[in-house]
A and B are shown apart, each in its own frame.
Chain A
Amino acid sequence: AQSVTQPDIHITVSEGASLELRCNYSYGATPYLFWYVQSPGQGLQLLLKYFSGDTLVQGIKGFEAEFKRSQSSFNLRKPSVHWSDAAEYFCAVGNPDDYKLSFGAGTTVTVRA
């Protein structure tokens, strides 16, 4: 079975500062990994995804994530946060033998001026 852990429930960051959100997954082989963002009252928007190949993936809105097999991690980063990045961020895992996505509990990001 696959699962995802997002250790940080809430992160507060100053505008212009860097951001890193942690994600750890559990799956025996190489999983499919995703980061989604959810603004209040909205659905989920795909930020980026990893299936194979280069372990550093670029996404929209200036986000990037790095797949580290040895640490079973897929952390999300942004070098300089904007106030509009305040939202909830979800890491999700899928795999070739399954059709569902399994999500973490999410990390809420607050951006202070």
Chain B
Amino acid sequence: DAGVTQSPTHLIKTRGQQVTLRCSPKSGHDTVSWYQQALGQGPQFIFQYYEEEERQRGNFPDRFSGHQYPNYSSELNVNALLLGDSALYLCASSLVSQETQYFGPGTRLLVL
């Protein structure tokens, strides 16, 4: 039973560029959440997707956007990258009827 997978594992971009991160949920899960974890901090909620719609959003600017596909996989897009966007981006999946979120290994983004 595959867990949550994310790609790529590492990414280096320059300021102003755009990036897309991908996530496949745990088998049987229908809900995907994205978190940003800056160095030395706990994860911060970006948004959650269910039924291909953004269900809730955290305190992140519109430069952060997402998408969920019919197979429940998801993308996180960040436009106009800033140095401060350098972080570990974590994807978590869950069942809409349950509260427990299971995390993937993350994508480490470095913005130069």
Most buried by A among B42, B99, B104: B42
Q: Which residues of A contact B74 (CB under 8 A)?
A: none
Q: Which residues of B contact A98 (CB under 8 A)?
A: 56
Interface extent on A, as a size class?
20 to 34
Which one of A32, A42, A99, A106 contacts B42 once the chains associate, using CB atoms below 8 Å? A106
Which one of B48, B103, B106 contacts A100 once the chains associate, using CB atoms below 8 Å? B48
How many chain B residues touch A (Cβ–Cβ < 8 Å)? 25
Which one of A32, A102, A103 contacts B99 once the chains associate, using CB atoms below 8 Å? A32
B-contacting 9-mer, from A44-52, A59-67, A69-77: A44-52
Known contacts A4-B42, A90-B42; 11 further A-B pairs (Cβ under 8 A): A36-B103, A42-B105, A43-B6, A43-B104, A43-B106, A49-B100, A92-B42, A98-B56, A99-B55, A99-B56, A106-B41
Residues of chain B having any CB pair with chain A under 8 Å: 4, 6, 33, 35, 40-45, 48, 55-56, 58, 90, 92, 99-106, 108
| 15 pairs, CB–CB < 8 Å, chain A vs chain B | A32-B99, A36-B103, A42-B105, A43-B6, A43-B90, A43-B104, A44-B43, A44-B90, A45-B103, A99-B33, A99-B55, A101-B92, A103-B43, A105-B40, A106-B42
